[in-house]
Amino acid sequence: MTNSSYLQYLPPVLWSPENDPRQMLGRHLRIYEKPLTGLSADGLVTRASAPFLHAELAAVQMASESGASRFAIGDWITIDGTAERCRIKNLSNATMILDGNLTAPHPAAGTVRIADLAPGQTTFRANNTAALEAGYPLRILQAGQTEQLIVASTDGAFVTLTYALTKAYPMQDTAVPVKLIDGLTAASGRKADNLEAQIDGLFKIFNPWRTRSDFLDWLASWLALPLRPEPEWSDYQRRKMISQITTIYQQRGLKQGIYTYLDIYAVTAARPRMAVDDGEAILHPLLAEDRTMVLRAIAHSNTVSPPSNTAKTVSILLHPTGIAVDSKNNYFVCDVADVAQKVPRPPALWKVSATGEVDFTSGTLPMPMPAPIFSGPTWFLPCAVTVDASDRVAVLDSGQVAGANANPGAIYRFIPPSYTMTKVIDGTSTPAFPAIHPVDMVLDTAGRFVVLDRGLHPLGNPPAGTANPRIVVVSEGPLAVATHPLANVKEPTAILGTPSGAFLVADANDQKTANPADIWMVDPAANWNATSLLGAMPAGTNPLIFPTGMVWEAPNVLLVCDTGLRWGFAPNSDPGSRSMAEPAHIYRVDLKSTPPRIARVTTQKHLVEPTKMARDKKGKLLITDRGSKINDRNWRANVSEFGVTVFFSDQRPTTFDERNSFRRGVVNVIESELVGQASWWMDF
pLDDT at position 382 over 60? yes
pLDDT tens readout for residues 2-34: 455 555 545 555 556 666 666 666 656 655 554
- Which residue did the predictor score with more confidence, 362 or 224? 224
CA atoms within a 13 Å half-sphere pointing along the CA-CB vector of 679: 9
Residue-level pLDDT at 306: 56
- Answer whether the bond into residue 434 is a cis peptide, omega within 30°: no
For 266-280, what is the mean pLDDT? Answer: 84
Contact yes or no for 627/609 (Cβ under 8 A):
yes
| pLDDT band for position 39 (cuts 50, 70, 90) | very low
Contact yes or no for 393/325 (Cβ under 8 A):
no
Compute the mean pLDDT over every residue in the chain, rounded to the nearest whole number: 83
pLDDT tens readout for residues 414-454: 999 999 999 999 989 999 999 988 999 999 999 999 999 98
Q: Which residues are CB-neighbours of 273 under 8 A, at least 6 positions away? A: 564, 565, 581, 582, 583, 645, 646, 647, 648, 649
Lowest mean pLDDT among 283-297, 545-559, 567-581: 567-581
Cα separation, 6 vs 12, whole angstroms: 13
Lowest mean pLDDT among 96-110, 259-273, 466-480, 484-498: 259-273
Cα separation, 492 vs 551, whole angstroms: 16
Lowest mean pLDDT among 100-104, 352-356, 512-516, 573-577: 573-577
Closest CA to 588 of 288, 283, 279: 288
| pLDDT band for position 162 (cuts 50, 70, 90) | confident
pLDDT at position 192 over 50? no
Residue-level pLDDT at 628: 84
Contact yes or no for 610/632 (Cβ under 8 A):
no
Q: Give exposure, 103-124, as e/b (b: 16+ Cβ within 10 Å).
A: eeebeeebebbbbbbeeebebb
pLDDT tens readout for residues 206-229: 788 888 787 788 888 888 787 877
- Paired with 97 in beta bridges are 59, 90
pLDDT at position 487 over 70? yes
Cα separation, 522 vs 471, whole angstroms: 10
How many percent of the chain have pLDDT more than 70?
82
Cα separation, 451 vs 503, whole angstroms: 11
Pairing type for strands 641-649 and 679-683 reads parallel
Closest CA to 315 of 340, 278, 343, 296: 343
Contact yes or no for 441/495 (Cβ under 8 A):
yes
3-state secondary structure of 620: coil
Whether the predicted model's global pTM rises above the 0.75 cut: no
pLDDT tens readout for residues 299-346: 988 776 655 555 556 678 899 999 999 999 999 999 998 877 766 788
Radius of gyration of the chain (CA): 31
Residue-level pLDDT at 38: 41
Cα separation, 245 vs 229, whole angstroms: 17
Cα separation, 367 vs 361, whole angstroms: 9
pLDDT at position 535 over 60? yes
3-state secondary structure of 530: strand
Please give the domain boundaries of the chain with CATH numbers for all domains: 1-36 (no CATH), 43-181 (no CATH), 209-271+652-684 (no CATH), 273-651 (2.120.10.30)
Cα separation, 471 vs 491, whole angstroms: 13
DSSP code per residue over 252-312: TTSHHHHHHHHHHHT-SSS--EEEEES-EEEEEEEE-TTS-EEEEEEEE-EEE--TT-GGG
